[in-house]
Structure 1
Amino acid sequence: MNISLILAHPNPVSFNHAIAAVAHETLTQQGHTVFFHDLYAEQFPALLPFEEFSKDADVPPEIQRYCDELIASDGIIIVHPNWWGQPPAVLKGWVDRVIRPGVAYRFLDGDNGEGIAEGLLHAKAALVFNTGNTPLVREINVFGDPLEALWKKCIFEFCGISNVYRRLFLVVVTSSPEMRQAWLNEVRQVVGQYFPSSKM
């Protein structure tokens, strides 16, 4: 299978990078092709220009590459921290420019955009691994865990992917090395479960 693995964290020694490394290693060991992108390292151009709004717009070749990989993906993994209840700006820009009309979704003929979209992505599953520093009770009761609805409802289900798994690791800043290792073991298990070996 082809799996898109998208990482968004500016610190190369962050726990997010450790999560992405374990996911990448697991996918490779399972025989999958991995489209891996560290958006900060690649300096992904996050600003969406008006010229790209239309589904028929000509997008730059470097953006079209991401689009083509997304279309070809049998699975998607997103790794990022929770910043103000949102993904980092570079990842939001990736969503804006890559999960675009004609690639990830379309509106039916005669619909001017206010209707229900038809999802175009054929990925069998999407995994989202988030990190945060807010205790779970406060995250749920005070903030409402906004990333849950964002990734599951507003993005992946909208684009045709109903099998969405999201895991929020808390509290990273006070976690022990043993806890982080246990979390990485969990990442390995989940990735292997959703994207089992393709080797014959």
Structure 2
Amino acid sequence: MNATKILIINGHPDPLSYCKALSESYADGVRQSGGAVEMINLSEIEFNPNLRYGYRKRTELEPDLLKAQELIRWADHLVIVYPTWWGTMPAVLKGFIDRIFLPGFAMRYRDNSVLWDKLLKGKSAQLIVTSDTPRLYNALVYRNAGHRIMRSNILKFSGVSPVHVTDISPIRKSTEAFRQKWLDKVMKMGMKQVR
């Protein structure tokens, strides 16, 4: 699914991370193809990642989170770039999702029903996930648990579909050539995404 309005969310807390470089490469590809791109770097915005009261009591959204919701509404396609830590996303990305993927924004529970309305329908997503665990090991032993959570339990639950995953691993002992190869691939992904 190609798009013209693309939002990249860099979920790495380190502003000098490889995930930041991947995010910028994707954005460069989108720009080269004439698409509109916006970026949210979670290392640069300010918010409390703790949904303190759950859904029992409203926690007011900080200005950066209100802006993030506007950008998600605007986008046709979401690109979420993050590392796998302990089998899933970093705490700052999970907190970001907890705080803004709220009832009334991402989904709406129906009265007297086990069903819900998916409020982010019409959007697609690409996950670009780095890991120190080799892909085959992650698939066979861990069954891609972190990918499944983000793809199914969060994005598809909210109506975002299709959701594709690009797994870049192993990173820890990777060479500069390996990293550059992926930066180039991710730029081409951004170029191809624009319709």
Count of residues in Structure 1 that have an aligned counterpart in Structure 2: 192
| TM-score normalized by the length of structure 1 | 0.85
Q: Which residue of 2 aligns with 1:158?
A: 157
CA drift of 1:14 comes to 2.2
| TM-score normalized by the length of structure 2 | 0.87
Residue 35 in structure 1 maps to residue 35 in structure 2: no
Q: Which residue of 2 aligns with 1:196?
A: 194
User: In 2, distance between residues paired with 1:161 and 1:190?
Assistant: 19
| Change over 3 Å in CA distance of 1:181–1:102 after alignment to 2 | same
CA drift of 1:54 comes to 6.2
1:9 to 7, 12, 19: 12
The aligned amino acid for 1:128 is L
Q: Which residue of 2 aligns with 1:78?
A: 80
Residue 148 in structure 1 maps to residue 147 in structure 2: yes
| Change over 3 Å in CA distance of 1:12–1:56 after alignment to 2 | closer
94-103 or 133-142: which moved more?
133-142
Greater relative contact order: 1 or 2 (C-alpha under 8 angstroms, separation 6 or more)? Answer: 2
**Is 2:12–2:93's contact at 8 Å kept on the other side of the alignment?**
no
3-state DSSP class of the match of 2:158?
A: coil
User: In 1, distance between residues paired with 2:8 and 2:162?
Assistant: 16
**Is 1:71–1:103's contact at 8 Å kept on the other side of the alignment?**
no
Q: Once superposed, what is the RMSD of the aligned Cα atoms? A: 2.2
The 5 A counterparts of 1:97-136 are 97-111=99-113, 115-136=114-135
Unaligned segments of structure 1, at least 5 residues:
none
Unaligned segments of structure 2, at least 5 residues:
none
| Change over 3 Å in CA distance of 1:71–1:40 after alignment to 2 | same
The 5 A counterparts of 1:91-102 are 91-102=93-104
The aligned amino acid for 2:157 is F
Q: Identity rate of aligned residues, in percent? A: 28
CA drift of 1:146 comes to 1.0
User: In 2, distance between residues paired with 1:95 and 1:12?
Assistant: 19
Q: Which residue of 1 aligns with 2:23?
A: 20
